[in-house]
Amino acid sequence: MRTIITLLLSILLSPWAYSQAVSDSAFITNQVYPAVVLLYSQDETGSMKMHCTATAIEKNPAGYVFVTAAHCASEDDVEKKRVQADVKKFFFVTFDERKDKTFVKAKLLACGYQHAGDDFCLFQVDSQAQIPVMPVGKDPVRYSGEAIANVASPLGLGKQVFRGTVSSPDLDRDVRVNDINWQHTVLLQLPGTDGGSSGSAVVCLEQRAICAFLVGIIDDTQIVAIPASRLVKFRQEVDSKTYKYWKAEDQD
């Protein structure tokens, strides 16, 4: 009996169970919003520029791993079929504090090859601050308009909360934008997102987890996101050093 009670308590007190028990508004306020940072770079002149939005997805002994979009920090070398990071920039993140912003150095871990559908960049941020970590969940699958939430900084206007729906869980045809094929991406109705929102997490509210990552827009109306399963596969290949498009030695 004691074992059963202990098991029930561990389930009820788990972060997932807590997230399921609270309202959507409380979940966004306490879990999603504080897990989001803005990605900046500092060039050789010392100037700071905001690029994209990133989200904490893992805690480790040194700090946290954040994910954003690859096009925020790298380009595809299509001749060599390699990813080339912008090594002349130093990256930082900020939680976009209302008054004095604090910038923390972000170390680039790996970026994906956009032409292969891997528009992801991973950053390590060394910090002992208590930051919520967003779980990476399952891809959207239903055609009933799943409810989603997103925290991002469009146009550099600061962190904002957006709500919308998944308009299609799978773009089943060839759609090329800037020579990149967005087939088999997720389409969203998420009014208000714009430049600066790239890389931000799309949270499926029923899952209470990240189900996609925002990467672009088609004809100013259709928001495009990459399904979460692609990030999982990308991370597995990066961790096992089998990801053929990213080589650390190419970034020197």
What does pTM read for this prediction?
0.89
pLDDT at 86: 78
- pLDDT given for residue 12 in this prediction: 44
Least confident of 19-23, 101-105, 219-223: 19-23
Q: Provide the CATH number for the domain formed by 147-231 in this structure.
A: 2.40.10.10
pLDDT at residue 48, rounded to an integer: 87
Using H for helix, E for strand and C for coil, what is the string for 92-113? EEECCCCCCCCCEEEEEEEECC
pLDDT beyond 70 at 7:
no
Give one DSSP letter per residue of 196-208, joined into a string: T-TTPEEEETTTT
Q: What is d(CA 120, CA 190) in angstroms, rounded to the nearest whole number?
A: 20
Which region among 6-15, 71-80, 101-110 has the lowest average model confidence (pLDDT)? 6-15
Of 193 and 136, the structure prediction assigns the larger pLDDT to: 136
Helix, strand, coil: what percent of the chain each, to 5? 20, 40, 40
From residue 242, how far is each of 39, 73, 77 by CA, in Å?
27, 21, 18
Mean pLDDT across 61-85: 95
CA atoms within a 13 Å half-sphere pointing along the CA-CB vector of 180? 23
The answer to whether 186 touches 201, Cβ cutoff 8 Å, is no
Buried b (16+ CB within 10 A) or exposed e, 13-42: eeeeeebeeeeeeebbeebbbbbbbbbbbe
pLDDT confidence bin for 74, thresholds 50/70/90? very high
Residue 177 is predicted with a pLDDT of: 87
Say if residue 100's pLDDT is above 60. Answer: yes
pLDDT band at residue 163, thresholds of 50, 70 and 90? very high
Lowest mean pLDDT among 14-28, 77-91, 143-157: 14-28
Average pLDDT over residues 9-30: 70
Per the model's pLDDT, the better-predicted residue between 93 and 2 turns out to be 93
The tens digit of pLDDT for each residue in 20-71 reads 568 999 999 999 999 999 999 987 787 889 999 999 999 999 999 999 999 9
Sequence spans of domains, the chain: 147-231
